[in-house]
Amino acid sequence: MSRSATATTSTAESAKSTSSRPSSLHLLFNNKLATAGLIVFGLIVLVALAAPLLPLANPDATAPVDRLLRPLSDGHLLGTDALGRDILSRLIWGTRVSLAVGISATLIAAFFGSMIGLVAGYAGGRIDTLLMRGIDMVMAFPYILLALAIVAVLGPGLLNALYAIAVVNIPFFARNIRGIALGLSRREFVDAARLSGKSHPQILFLEVLPNVLPVIIITMSTTIGWMVLETAGLSFLGLGAQPPQADLGSMLGDGRKILFTAPHVSIIPGLMIFALVMSINLLGDGVRDVLDPRLKSGALTRPVARTAVIRDSVPQIAEPDANAVLDVRDLKTEFAFGGEIFKAVGGVDMSVGQGECLGIVGESGSGKSVSAMSIMGLVPTPPGRITGGVALLEGEDLFAATDERIRQLRGSAVSHVFQDPLSTLHPLFTVGDQLVEAIQAHQSLSGSEARAKAADLLKLVRIPNPAERLNAYPHELSGGMRQRVCIAMALADDARVIIADEPTTALDVTVQAQVLALLDTLRKERNAGILFITHDFGVVSAICDRVAVMYAGKFVETGKTEDILSSPAHPYTAKLIDCVPVLGQPERRLDAIEGRPPVVNKLPIGCAFAPRCPRAQDDCRAAPIPITRFGDGRTVRCIHPLTGEAANA
Amino acid sequence: MTSYISKRLLAAIPVLFGLTIIVFLIMAMIPGDPATAILGSYATPENVEKLNRDLGLDKPMFQQYLIWLTNLLHGDLGRSYTLNRPVLDEVMERFSATLILAGTSLILCSVFGLIAGVISAVRQFSWTDRIITFVVLVGISVPSFWLGLLLILVFAVNLKWFPASGMFAIYGGGDLPDLLHHLFLPAVTLAVVATGVIARLTRTAMLEVLRQDFIRTARAKGVSERAVIYRHAFKAALVTVIPVIGIQAGFVLGGAVYIETVFQWPGIGSMLVKAISTRDLLLVQGGVLVVAAAYVLFNLAADVVQTVLDPRLR
């Protein structure tokens, strides 16, 4: 499922970029908090810049008579300090100093840090090791402490504080930029530049630098707040700005001495530092979100426990399938990305009987995994949601069931085996713990009983030394062993249906055959139905009784496996079968299917496969093609089907 | 596992040596005559000459370092000229106070940061999430030295719930309740920023983990959503958060400089500030070295905890 889900995500993104991608600035303004930050920061900067033009009192003019006036006094909006100086005027002039120092420190740190990072990442090898070890050493110090040590040596003073803060921030830039530069220097365009005879500095500044610029900006926007804060901190301690010069930090430090008698003298400059840093951080977060592609398009949303079901109406089933354990009708599942809807599954009927294996075949992105994962609500919401259809498990409508009911059925009545056993097993728990958990989720067994049962399950899936293997972590097992563990987990509670989503795709061929044989035996022994998702007709022929071929969210052909394999009716089925190599027929041509599956937010009116179909005619594109009966127990969604003879495209 | 831990311990040794080199080099940057700088402007020529001889200041830099390092390994960090006592004694006395403050803060920020981050992630996009996210941003942006002053004004001056400064009451104090009473405000103030950082990271880590395939597997097994979040997801998220808690130890130890000054906590931070303004450089050197070494050990501990949690690292 993750395969198809990521496929739809990538198509969603590509679709977005081809249509109207909002500009970075537009995105920034969409973020309300970032906009607020920008406005506050802009105002502060504006006022600070305009300080000489504003009708302010002389910030250094002392007036012993007017000392410690409260805010809102006559002529002194924010009051006066211990020497009778106007706080408003000092605040604005102090902000100027704090801003200048913070921005200068950021620029210095960005310049040297980026240079170190660029050179280390581009040169690699020994230079890289040497530079980065040095950076690591600097980072082994508590940040502020190193700044203190530097100020201690250089002596207190605003400029020295600036240097100290800049130096301790260099590592952040060096590390971030080095990582990106390292990746870039292995890329083709850098090789090309090298081959065209450009010198190293030319490549570094003309080719690599423009590409790391966003990272430099992100790092600047996320560190500038700290730097303003830390320089203010050094001044507060009396190690930065020295009188008569004042920044926000030293104003706060002076005010501290009279905190109890005149708190406004220290509270006001502190509030200003806070407003400044907060606005910078809000803005910085916004800038990072815009420039960091990982965070775009709501990438970090948390899927909830169960897929959302939003059905307008519950379709009535005219002729319920008496033999079916699982009976799905007219299933529709979609994904919403941004403002667009991707109809991943557009109305699918399927049923699985006792001990029967139904295969769903199709390319990645055809919707086969989403169909299967919809049944027990395992499609991530957001962005997925089920918008129509019913799924009956022994007559019970799963889409209408409560969350708790679904939890009870998951793993007990319907269990799952997923594609990549390394990522689907929890890396931090032992195999035994994970099996025991699956058992105890549905059976009230004691710890030791559940463990004994877990060992039996491992034996059942032919894992040698099951008792010892219980203590193994997933990463200590081979791929085939891990998948056996997953199968054992699916068998933990006598499931009536097993949904297997490409269970053999991540395995090599011999292991694949073993796992298939195991699944086949187990379903016969236990009489469990299997819904088997795959893209490989070779696998279908090994295990499936019936098969459904899926394309662009719909079944295009269904029927008995041997019928479809011997005489595919839909041109897409024929093409898929042609993709399977056959042992002993080396002369057989392996045809890749030309073109790509359609993006499911812009499906054509007619046949979705028509653009890639060699037999397509005008009427194929004109109107929706219904799925129709095609001989005994077969259906096909094609108005010009192949009639049994070998498909020669 | 034991072999891994001993390996990590061994790997910390070169880092500690690196620290001594950096501290030494920083001190070597002192403009002018180091002996005069160390002894202060009222130093007698005899004392200057003696110090030059002791520290080998007439010798090449490398030999100076070796002499300094040998002294260091013998527990000799020199004498503070302002306090007229061995630097090591003063530093160790002060360091225990800092450790109490920073340690408490580290526990506070880990606990509250993790809780806030998990709640925020579990209720993503809800009002709870928005409020936590905003409060966290405030926490990260607020100058801790200013927040300390505000807390003193409100809780010490106005409400009189907590004392405004010091570590123990001058009369009749000295027991644990007295210490905790004095510890509360500075420890909370010091924890605010780190709590914000940890909460932020925990939220992101939880959101990342909850998208993983193994979470879907847990749900497919029919495990309750509570167990999915608090057992499966939290444990995996913790593995990425633990190293950051180690890094926060550095920010907490460093931030102690402000908080100790604001609350007049008799720790190494307030000692350093005073030593810098009186230019007692040997005291600065000793203090920086000890705190930096403590930071290395905190990170080492974080590494070990991470290894215990994550079998793949063993």
Given A494, A520, A547, which residue is the final one in a domain? A547
pLDDT of A20 above 50 = no
Whether residues A280 and A380 fall in one domain: no
Q: What total number of domains does chain A contain?
A: 2
Helix axes A2-18 and A368-375, enclosed angle (nearest 10): 120
Place of tokens 């006036």: A69
Domain assignment present for residue A645? The answer is: no
Among A567, A498, A503, CA closest to A535 = A503
Range of the domain at A421: 324-547
Domain assignment present for residue A639? The answer is: no
Token pair belonging to B8: 């990590």
pLDDT band at A397 (very low <50, low <70, confident <90, very high): confident
pLDDT band at A648 (very low <50, low <70, confident <90, very high): very low
Domain assignment present for residue A92? The answer is: yes
Whether residues A35 and A158 fall in one domain: yes
Whether residues A328 and A219 fall in one domain: no
**Whole-prediction pTM:** 0.85
Q: What is the pLDDT of residues B282-309, one digit of tens each?
A: 888 889 889 988 888 888 888 888 888 8
pLDDT of A68 above 80 = no
Percent of all residues in chain A with a pLDDT value above 70, rounded to a whole number: 90
Whether residues A400 and A508 fall in one domain: yes
Domain assignment present for residue A495? The answer is: yes
Domain assignment present for residue A243? The answer is: yes
Q: Which residues of A touch B254 (CB under 8 A)?
A: 142-145
SS3 A498: strand
CB spacing of B258 vs A282 below 8 angstroms: no
CB spacing of B219 vs A156 below 8 angstroms: no
Total residues found in chain B within this entry: 314
Total residues found in chain A within this entry: 649
pLDDT of A8 above 60 = no
Q: Is the dihedral of CA B170, B176, B181, B182 positive or negative?
A: positive
Whether residues A524 and A472 fall in one domain: yes
Whether residues A501 and A401 fall in one domain: yes
Q: Using CB atoms, pick whichever of A232, A267, A473 lies closest to residue B311.
A: A473
Q: Which residues of B touch A423 (CB under 8 A)?
A: 212-214
Whether residues A536 and A404 fall in one domain: yes
Given A547, A563, A578, which residue is the final one in a domain? A547
SS3 A238: coil
What CATH number is associated with residue A270?
Answer: 1.10.3720.10
Q: Using CB atoms, pick whichever of A142, A411, A412 lies closest to residue B250.
A: A142
SS3 B39: helix
Domain assignment present for residue A439? The answer is: yes
Q: Which residues of B touch A274 (CB under 8 A)?
A: 141-143, 146
Distance, in angstroms, between A204 CA and closest chain B CA?
Answer: 30
> Looking at A155-164, A413-422, A503-512, B125-134, which range is the least confident one?
A503-512
Whether residues A336 and A282 fall in one domain: no
Whether residues A502 and A392 fall in one domain: yes
- As a whole number of angstroms, the distance between CA A22 and CA A341 comes to 18
Domain assignment present for residue A605? The answer is: no
> Looking at A62-71, A177-186, B202-211, which range is the least confident one?
A62-71
Given A529, A547, A565, which residue is the final one in a domain? A547
Q: What is the pLDDT of residue A29?
A: 66
Whether residues A427 and A512 fall in one domain: yes
Q: What is the pLDDT of residue B126?
A: 84
SS3 A472: coil
Whether residues A123 and A226 fall in one domain: yes
Place of tokens 């700005």: A241
What CATH number is associated with residue A513?
Answer: 3.40.50.300
Q: What is the pLDDT of residue A159?
A: 92
Q: Quickly list H helices, A257-393.
A: 264-291, 368-375
Helix axes B2-28 and B281-309, enclosed angle (nearest 10): 160
Whether residues A249 and A378 fall in one domain: no
Q: Which residues of A touch B255 (CB under 8 A)?
A: 144
Domain assignment present for residue A183? The answer is: yes
Residues 6+ apart with CB under 8 A from A587: none
DSSP H or E run through A353:
strand A340-353
Burial group, residue B297, by CB count within 10 angstroms (0-12, 13-18, 19+): middle
Among B198, B195, B165, B162, CA closest to B181 = B162
